[in-house]
Amino acid sequence: MLKSMQMKKGLLIIMSGPSGVGKGEIRKKVMEDESLKLWFSVSMTTRSIRPGEENGREYFFVSKEEFKKTLHEGGLLESNQYVNNYYGTPKAKVEEMREKGYNVMLEIDVNGAEQVMKTIGKENVVSIFILPPSMEELETRIRGRSTESEEIIQKRLAKARKELPFKKDYRYHVINDSLERCAEEIKSIIKKESQNL
């Protein structure tokens, strides 16, 4: 019997960008394209679930104790504290899915991205930074989502201003002006990078 061709390992894609820039919406659009063979890494978080979110789909919503336990057992590829809550990427599945040939997408903040780039090597990560058309538009989007209190909105906006300079560490910069256009640009990046494997 012929030995089957060795499976190509999938890409590790990191998508970052300030809160409210549209990462969640972009990801949903991009994931609709099954030809990209994408697998979204569902993070763990201690923040409260928002209306419309589902445990296990957007995040695994866990208690602070459960989060810390997983962290101390070495179960996270990276983790960070972001505006009063913890976020982290469960490690085991990422490698497993890449080995199966899936292009794994992490939607994580700049601090987490820095950790992954250090561990795996910047050149081995397809890093994409999503930019808002303007800071005014970013504020409009965070407010339009109506999911956070005024205090948290202010903290997220302050965080966004600090995060933007980190775009220099990313291979690609994509502006989320129109959702459709932005999603198309990201799909083209993934297709191009898949061919480079």
| Binding interface with ligand 5GP (CB under 6 A) | 19, 23, 43, 47, 78, 80, 82, 87-89, 107-109, 111-112
Report the nearest approach of ligand ADP to the CB of residue 135 (Å).
14
Q: Using CB under 6 A, which of 45, 106, 176, 183 touches ligand ADP? A: 176
Report the nearest approach of ligand 5GP to the CB of residue 24 (Å).
7
Report the nearest approach of ligand ADP to the CB of residue 59 (Å).
11
Number of C-beta neighbours around residue 165 at 10 A: 9
Applying the rule CB under 6 A, the residues between 21 and 40 that interact with ligand ADP are 21-25
10 touches, from ligand ADP, ligand 5GP, none (C-beta below 5 to 8 Å by class): none
Count interface residues toward ligand ADP (CB under 6 A): 14
Q: Is 19 near ligand ADP (CB under 6 A)?
A: yes
Q: Pick the closer one to ligand 5GP by CB: 19 or 176.
A: 19
Q: Is 186 near ligand ADP (CB under 6 A)?
A: no
HEC secondary structure over the chain: CCCCCCCCCCCEEEEECCCCCCHHHHHHHHHCCHHHCEEECCEEECCCCCCCCCECCCEEECCHHHHHHHHHCCCEEEEEEECCEEEEEEHHHHHHHHHCCCEEEEECCHHHHHHHHHHHCHHHCEEEEEECCCHHHHHHHHHHHCCCCHHHHHHHHHHHHHHHHHHHHCCEEEECCCHHHHHHHHHHHHHHHHHCC
The partner residues of 86 in beta bridges, in order of sequence, read: 81
25 touches, from ligand ADP, ligand 5GP, none (C-beta below 5 to 8 Å by class): ligand ADP
Q: Is 145 near ligand ADP (CB under 6 A)?
A: yes
